[in-house]
Chain A
Amino acid sequence: MFKTIDELEAGLRSARYLPERGLATALYLSLALEKPLLLEGEAGVGKTEAAKALAEATSSRLIRLQCYEGLDVAHAVYEWNYSRQLLHIRAAQEGTVSEQELFGPEFLIRRPLLEAIESKEPVVLLIDEIDRADDEFEAFLLEMLSDFQITIPEIGTVSSSRRPAVILTSNRTRELHDALKRRCLFHWIDHPTLEREIEIVVLRVPGIPDRLAGQAAAFVQGLRQLDLAKPPGVAETIDWAQALAALGREELDAGVVEETLGSVLKYHEDFAAVRDEALVALVEEARSVAAAGAV
């Protein structure tokens, strides 16, 4: 589909996603080698967005499996439609319902993994926050990712006609199995550079004044240098820039930052750390950094 990394980069850009070269390379290799890609990084650096953009760039359907503790096969792969089954048995004459009939495809509820494997159209399968699922599920996933087939005892084995592109994300709340990591390519997404973050803001917040975009990005970069409980990610920068643009601002000043800081910082301690003089100093710095960048 994409012959070079540059082509993929252009494709992602038209999906309004600006990856660093390393991420573009990782996505490219994941497609070329048909291997799942494990993305890690701080919250809000765009792990999930990367999968969405990849789906758009490759004109694929995005199928997302959000992991959580207790996720099991019934919610990830398939489940039988029990109420329909029971109704079906009642409706039919006694003794005329065969087991085969009852466990046929029309009573099957397809969950994300089965859907991704059965799909005839190209698919990007996003397995989000895999570290939240428990070990048992990880073991199951391992099996599925190695041969892309799923066995339903009542029906048989379903295998994929074309391998879906698979992106896994993890926030590293726990260490994943080595075996699972071995199946995957790996990429660590970092916070973007200032130049790249400005580009991202300009791309994602249409109509934002250039100067404001530069100052907002520089301000967030400044925040990341501080010792915060939760440093803001690109997602927060975009939210914030949207808020600033919606307020019709042309430039950053201490007052407007104070009013809107809630879209950047999510913890009370962090608010306390970015107050008064600290806040004024950060705004000053952001303005001068942005001005230096513009020259």
Chain B
Amino acid sequence: MKKDMVILIAEDDAGHFQLIKKNLWLSCTEYDILQFKDGQQVLDFLFKNRRMYLEEKKQYILLLDIRMPKVDGLEVLRRIKADEKLRSIPVMMLTTTSEVSMVEQCYELQCSFYIVKPVDYHHFMETVQNLGEFLSLGGIRMPSIGKMKN
């Protein structure tokens, strides 16, 4: 079941993306990891030609930055959770923004979890490793997106 999990990462900072990918891979070795450089790219992937990109059998999870060019993470979250099919995709915020109002807003919009990127490099790595170990738990179950129309 694990092999069917795809981790989507929306992250405009190339350095952050590398760090996230590298540290997730320490535990999530069997998962596919896809990068999107801004909010528009991830929306295109999810909303345009869904049948082409999204596979019913696979399970997706999105790690979402907030401050990104073109479309910000908050809007991406809002669009996903307003879509009848895509709303089941777990979205975890992974951002430098730590304002309480932003945390509240994201949970209101039904993000699964909100994680603040630590400024310190080693803490950042450790945080992503903790996330990776959680996502690779043998007992974790994710929803499938079901049949895609479009």
Is B a genuine binding partner of A? no
Q: A residues near B, CB below 8 A? A: none
Q: B residues near A, CB below 8 A? A: none
